[in-house]
Structure 1
């Protein structure tokens, strides 16, 4: 049954309110405070919900703040090996800054598609060691019209870029002392003796290949001249990428070699491959691949979001989700359901909910017996029951809309009194 009060509606199922139990002007009229069936208030329930959710909201807020900072903030320097903005020993900021002071425009890119698009005739493209490149990325880099400098490249890229004229033989040991260039390249003559790790060799029958700094077979540098759109272009492979790093650039003639290789043109495209990059080029030189359509910071944010999902899954894995209603495979008798709910109430100590259910059932029964409509308020029902039973109105209001019992004995006593009230109404 649903009954209305001056402040709201009382549902027959449960946990709602009381109001003034007697008619205005009645000698037995009393003003009872509004009490919920489970002995709580809206403000108290809201406070409990906030205490349960505040740590969750705090963690989500901190994670969202960190993701926002990672997405919009880009540090002045990085820690990426061989990057021109890395000031650590494994970076190449020193060489990049010197080239910039000499008038060379250094363009730092991390995607193959961007490197291929920027590396046109009359420019230099340097490819630093990185993750394993896709076959289409290798082909795209090998086909650029710019002079190509490969630092510590793998055998697949070296072969593709040099037209199978040069191959790489990994595993060579660094020389015991500095080695003379052993070639007639002006750049090598200016650099002089170096201690670079050798690992390159010319394939049998290859033409226009120059090897420098040989050490018992393999060489540290190999240069090949290939035809280009505006004439010959040069592909230079250096097996030891440390020649450009901040920690080794001042050793022997490394600085001279690095500046000579990378400063031959006014524009230098510096590619530090991103491990998450899958772009190469499409028709007409347009970028292709799913990652090519994403902003540069999408990979970092994606990894961070994945970490957040994993942490949240571990955090919430032991918690049960919301209840899901489903049809029972067998019919359960009403008496069993009632006893089961009663045991649950008793185990949880929820006397307020149990009392509210008993009162709602009694109110619905006596209202139907007395012909009180469902839209009637608490005062109308209380007056009707009082007239039918001869009880004082405040006694009836206390039974139907009083505060929750404080212990099991009080709950049992309330059930007994409600049963007596129903019997009196039925006898009237």
Structure 2
């Protein structure tokens, strides 16, 4: 019985290779470029993924740390409040208007002009720890000089927002009402001024102030009635302008920066293109081998090179360079004649030449290290005197 096999050898190509060997060769040549392309695509994909924007600015709506207010901002957004986060008074005044709420988290870096502009805004104002901004905004209340540490306080007033909160955790100086339009809540236990840590002034617009930003922070938002008070203060309107003053806030409107005019994907694409350019440069860069010595097409005698350099010095009036070259040559030759090393300092060379020639040290120093000549006559005189000095050393 004859057994036949279906296995047949791979066909051999005309150059002695098989289809399998040619495929393997192609893969070996292409695997590194493919790996680089895959890496570039991976980096571009990771760069294009949206990342949560966070900061470390106190009371900022994008700060997830203990002193930030990201938790409060997220709850307000869930309740349908549109939040505009700004760092300049010009942007805050542009975004805020009638029917909106303007939150000012601090007045420490505001100028009088900025305070006056904020006071003229038609938006409802919520002021956090207004040390000196309050008199610009309203004359119905003022701050008290008393300072109380952080403690739990009870509303003790008729304001519905304060009564809904019940108790809050606050510190700092309080407020006192100067007329019937102002209402103060959450007085300090044992306080003598009769004021409170929370102020509401009703009028053409509503002005709300709190003596401390602690109830707005992530660390304290869930304590006592802090969340209820914060949500009621900031959620009265569908639009909230969240203004956190910065050191760079000059109060003047400025045009959009270049990065503001670029689309969101411009950064990742630019990074990807830069990486591609770097990889292409490494891939296609010229590989330099060892230095190869080759004969020059023309032989230039040393005397001709010296005369040519001298003519260049003379044409450019470089008396200093020419003098330095003459002095360096004499110093090198005479030092070698006297057995001094090439690294010998100037005082050693001067002393050795003075002893060998019988000249004074000052004379030798003036010839080798004196001021440069300023004309052809001075240069020629220096060259003759240097030649005399060198000849005296040779005679010894």
**Stretch deviating more after TM superposition (194-203 or 86-95):** 194-203
Matches within 5 A, 1:107-186: 107-129=84-106, 131-155=108-132, 157-162=133-138, 164-169=139-144, 172-174=147-149, 177-186=151-160
- Contact in 2 for aligned 1:131/1:274 (Cα 8 Å): no
3-state DSSP of counterpart to 1:197: strand
**Is contact 2:168-2:215 (8 Å) kept?**
no
> What is the SS of the residue equivalent to 1:169?
strand
- Whether the aligned pair in 2 keeps the contact of 1:131 and 1:275 (CA below 8 Å) is no
What's the counterpart of residue 190 of structure 1?
Answer: 164
Seen in structure 2, the aligned counterparts of structure 1 residues 107 and 345 have a Cα distance that, compared at 3 Å, is farther
Unaligned 5+ residue runs, structure 2?
1-49, 261-316, 334-386, 392-396
Q: In the TM superposition, what are the counterparts of 1:6-405 in structure 2 within 5 Å?
A: 76-129=53-106, 131-155=108-132, 157-162=133-138, 164-169=139-144, 172-174=147-149, 177-202=151-176, 204=178, 206-215=179-188, 216=191, 217=193, 218-227=195-204, 233-280=205-252, 287=253, 292-293=254-255, 295=257, 338-344=322-328
Instruction: Name the CA distance, whole Å, in 1 between partners of 2:323 and 2:82.
Output: 83
Unpaired runs of at least 5, structure 1: 1-72, 228-232, 281-286, 299-332, 350-411, 417-428
Kept after mapping to 1: 8 A contact 2:109/2:246: no
- CA deviation after TM superposition for structure 1 residue 128, in Å: 0.7
Higher RCO, 1 vs 2 (CA within 8 Å, ≥6 residues apart): 1
- CA deviation vs aligned residue, 1:211-243 (integer Å, no higher than 9, x gap): 00111134101111232xxxxx10011011111
| Number of aligned residues | 227
For the structure 1 residues 86 and 208, does the alpha-carbon distance in structure 2 shift closer, same or farther, using more than 3 Å as the test? same
Which whole-Å CA distance do the structure 2 matches of 1:210 and 1:85 have between them?
32
The 2-side partners of 1:196 and 1:149 are apart by 16
Instruction: Please provide the CA RMSD for this pair.
Output: 3.3
Q: CA deviation at 1:203?
A: 5.7
Does structure 2 conserve the Cα–Cα contact (< 8 Å) formed by 1:130 and 1:272?
Answer: no
Match of 1:18 in 2: none
Residue aligned with 1:259, SS: helix
Whole-angstrom distance in 2 between the partners of 1:278 and 1:270? 17
1:103–1:345 CA distance, 2 compared to 1 (3 A): farther
Q: CA offsets, 1:52-87, max 9 Å, x none?
A: xxxxxxxxxxxxxxxxxxxxx996111111110111
Alpha-carbon spacing, 1:138–1:342, altered in 2? closer, same or farther (3 Å): same
**C-alpha offsets along residues 335-390 of structure 1, whole Å, 9 cap, x if unaligned?**
997544423567799xxxxxxxxxxxxxxxxxxxxxxxxxxxxxxxxxxxxxxxxx
Question: Residue 138 of structure 1: SS of its match in structure 2?
Answer: helix
